[in-house]
Copies of this chain bind each other. A is one copy, B any other.
Amino acid sequence: MKITIIGAGNVGTHLGKRLFEKGHEIVEVFSRVPAKAELLANQVGARAVSALSELGETADIYILAVKDDAIEAVAAAISVDNPFIVHTSGATPSTVLSAHSSQYGIFYPLQTFSIDKSADFEKLPMCVYANNSTVLKKLKNLAQSICPNVYEINDKERAILHVCAVFVNNFTNHLFAVAEDILTKENLTLHLLKPLIQETVNKIQQHPAKAMQTGPAFRGDVQTVERHLDFLEQYPDYQLIYRVLSESIGR
């Protein structure tokens, strides 16, 4: 397919490179920052564009990998007759695109990307949706060409997945940051807990998370919970997290 990538951040870069590697033609790469547009464009043999009005060639699909609150404005600025537009956001309904095209959809890789680290397209779930069956078929084919795990996920389901992604990624990472902060202040290191963290994840590969729950709150070991809360007096923010999560575990 002839593809235009709009946005050269983490998602746009990883998707663009993967699509190019798998033989698709990337015609244009847009970023407001000319250097970013050029950096990605050069890697995928595309023309770099840094003003939306300069988008020239007609592509089979426009992939919008921009910030959530920019999706609609960017879609409005594509001066092509009824383009096939998809966005890559977990949090945004597909319908924000409906005013700008009669053929639109979602191309959402459910993963957290880092600019300096290659993405595991062999493992991540690619969530696709389109508002009619003709473009859905094209989109599924495109997804399957870069990724073995393709799921058709509607707006409602994607919204729920996104809430849950916040729990398992954003909140989990914050718990790691809390532990790291406490340990650093106490001249210890999170390094000591990394095998435990990995094992916590390993366990849920085979078993339901609920069945793997352990610890003082789960056992109802009130003495230990109280001792931990006492220690956390000096970190009121973390003490509240400890209290709320312990109460939820004990429920």
Chain A contact residues, CB within 8 Å of chain B: 68-69, 91, 110-112, 114, 117, 120, 123-125, 127, 151, 157, 159-183, 186, 188, 190, 192-201, 203-205, 208-210, 212-218, 221, 223-224, 227-228, 231-232, 237-238, 240-242, 244-245, 248-249, 251
Verify A209–B231 contact, CB threshold 8 A: no
CA distance A112 to B214 in the complex (A): 9
Copies in the complex: 2
For A92, give the chain B residue with the smallest CB separation.
Answer: B224
Verify B242–A174 contact, CB threshold 8 A: no
- The A interface is mostly helix, strand or loop, or mixed, namely helix
CA distance A183 to B164 in the complex (A): 8
Verify A240–B244 contact, CB threshold 8 A: yes
Out of B159, B162, B169, B182, name the residue touching A163 (CB < 8 Å).
B182
Verify B173–A212 contact, CB threshold 8 A: yes
Which of chain B's residues have a CB closer than 8 A to the CB of A177? 208-210, 213
